[in-house]
Structure 1
Amino acid sequence: MADADYESVLCVKPEVHVYRIPPRASNRGYRAADWQLDQPAWTGRLRVTSRGKMAFIKLEERSSGELFAQAPVEQFPGIAVESVVDSSRYFVICIEDGTGSVTPGRRAFIGVGFADRGDAFDFNVALQDHFKWVKQQAELAKQAQNPEQGPRLDLGFKEGQTIKINIANIKKKEGSTKPRPLSGTLNLLPPPPGAKVPVPSASPAQPATPTSTDLLLELGAPSPWAGPPAPSDMWGDFTKASGAAGGQQTTGWVQF
């Protein structure tokens, strides 16, 4: 069943007065002072209902609930409901559909008034809230049919708008990013087979630094730290032979 088949009650006021009003004398609006306020034409109950987008002002008998007159309202403010220019408690409504003293197919304007200003305020707000809801529903339906025309999030910078970045905690790294060697170690190539590699003594207070002697180690040169190499038998015999040539005879060598 469609939502238009349901009727909801927006406002109920137990007492409202109905007045016969003279024709409007000018375009400035209706004045309640021109009515016979002490002699209402009818007194009863007022109900404001809604069915779909339409609102209805119903004047009913207080005892039986019989409908006296009804004013359909398509928009508010509009021709169906108008406020008077000299009071907030009185309104002019347009009744139709053959209700009350109106013949079928014709309309008539009557005045309604409330004894309490609070009742008049509630009547006015009930109509405003209903048509505000109708407007919101129309906008949602329009956006559903055309989603590209809906509101979009604008993330661009406006004219004169700036952005600030806090870089106080960012430290700039200077120099090479390569890891530094540990204290007391040398980044040298391994020595060739057979070479003796001295172990440099580096005190904890002063780290060892590469010298010219360390560079010679990479070429296989003997290190002066290891002391003179031990003489072999061949070099010892050669020394003895050289001494024999100077006049000292040494065993183990044959003189020619």
Structure 2
Amino acid sequence: MDTYESVLLVKNEVFVFKIPPLTTNRGHRAADWNLAEPQWIGRMRLVAKGDECIIKLEDKTSGELFAKCPIDVYPGIAIEAVSDSSRYFVLRIQDDNGRSAFIGLGFSDRSDSFDLNVSLQEHFKWLKKSEEIEKEKGEPKQELDLRFKDGETIKINMKITKKDGGDAATKPKVKSLGGGILPPPPAAPVRIAPPPVPSVNSSPSHQPPNGSKPESWGEFASAANNNPR
């Protein structure tokens, strides 16, 4: 399956300069270039194809390729910033035969060079993340070990509740006699009848003296009736 080319950045006007050989350790300086007379003016496209990242310098009318700069890492030797300006870079261009040369690349505005920096950083950050994901896919997954280690225990706190919602601790306990038989109900209280009321005959005021027998009520009534008024 062919890998499609994706465009990361396009700048319609860039300048290419011929740069002198580097003779000091201070790096490249744009002031050493003939900035008033660029060697070429055209369009720049930053493209990605698979793992490759390439700066392509093309004719802005016909699209004909002028030069290309493969970039394998950033920052790196393929593209370097100059020491005295943020708008200029040194590119290592290559042809199809593997021959290489160094040229100067410049932008008319600092925002254009800033966009190039950000696009390169984001691309290689994404590339690194993709490599990490692919590496993780190839690694065997470790199974989770749930076995207890030597001397390791587990404590479980369980609370059991009866279905009827009652709590055995709150229910009154019924004591039983031997054999599980309930005790008989308590006996009804015994009521004692009050003593009888003494009759008139039994009153001590009517008792005959010296233990003689009392007269009957009939005789008493007859005597009363015979008494003259």
Which of the five TM-score ranges fits, normalised by the shorter chain?
Answer: 0.5 to 0.7
1:191, 1:197 within 8 Å by CA — same for their partners in 2?
A: no
Give the Cα separation in 1 of the matches to 2:78 and 2:138: 31
Matched, 1:61 2:59: yes
Report which structure shows greater RCO (CA 8 Å, sep ≥6): 2
Equivalent of 1:129 in 102, 122, 126: 122
Distance 1:188 1:72, change over 3 A: same
Tell me the CA shift for residue 55 of structure 1.
0.6
Q: Deviations over 1:136-168 (max 9, x none)?
A: 11111111122459xx9xxxxxxxxxxxxxxxx
The number of equivalent residue pairs is 168
Give 1:1-256 correspondences, 5 Å limit: 1-2=1-2, 5-97=3-95, 104-147=97-140, 179=169, 182=172, 187-189=175-177, 197-199=184-186
SS of 2:114 mapped into structure 1: helix
Distance 1:67 1:200, change over 3 A: farther
Tell me the CA shift for residue 12 of structure 1.
0.2
Structure 1 or 2, whichever has the larger Rg, is 2
1:96, 1:105 within 8 Å by CA — same for their partners in 2?
A: yes
Give the Cα separation in 1 of the matches to 2:180 and 2:43: 117
Q: Deviations over 1:41-65 (max 9, x none)?
A: 1111100001111111011111111
SS of 1:130 mapped into structure 2: helix
Q: Which amino acid aligns with 1:16?
A: V
- Please, what TM-score do these two structures have when normalized by structure 1? 0.58
Distance 1:107 1:186, change over 3 A: closer
- Could you tell me which runs of 5 or more consecutive residues in structure 1 were left unpaired when the two chains were aligned: 99-103, 153-176, 202-224, 228-256
Q: Deviations over 1:199-234 (max 9, x none)?
A: 379xxxxxxxxxxxxxxxxxxxxxxx569xxxxxxx
Q: Which amino acid aligns with 1:136?
A: K
Tell me the CA shift for residue 181 of structure 1.
5.5
Distance 1:89 1:188, change over 3 A: same
Give the Cα separation in 1 of the matches to 2:139 and 2:170: 65
Distance 1:93 1:187, change over 3 A: same
Tell me the CA shift for residue 180 of structure 1.
5.3
- Please, what TM-score do these two structures have when normalized by structure 2? 0.64
1:12, 1:46 within 8 Å by CA — same for their partners in 2?
A: yes
Give the Cα separation in 2 of the matches to 1:131 and 1:138: 10
Tell me the CA shift for residue 105 of structure 1.
3.7
Cα RMSD of the aligned pairs, angstroms, is 3.1
Distance 1:187 1:27, change over 3 A: same
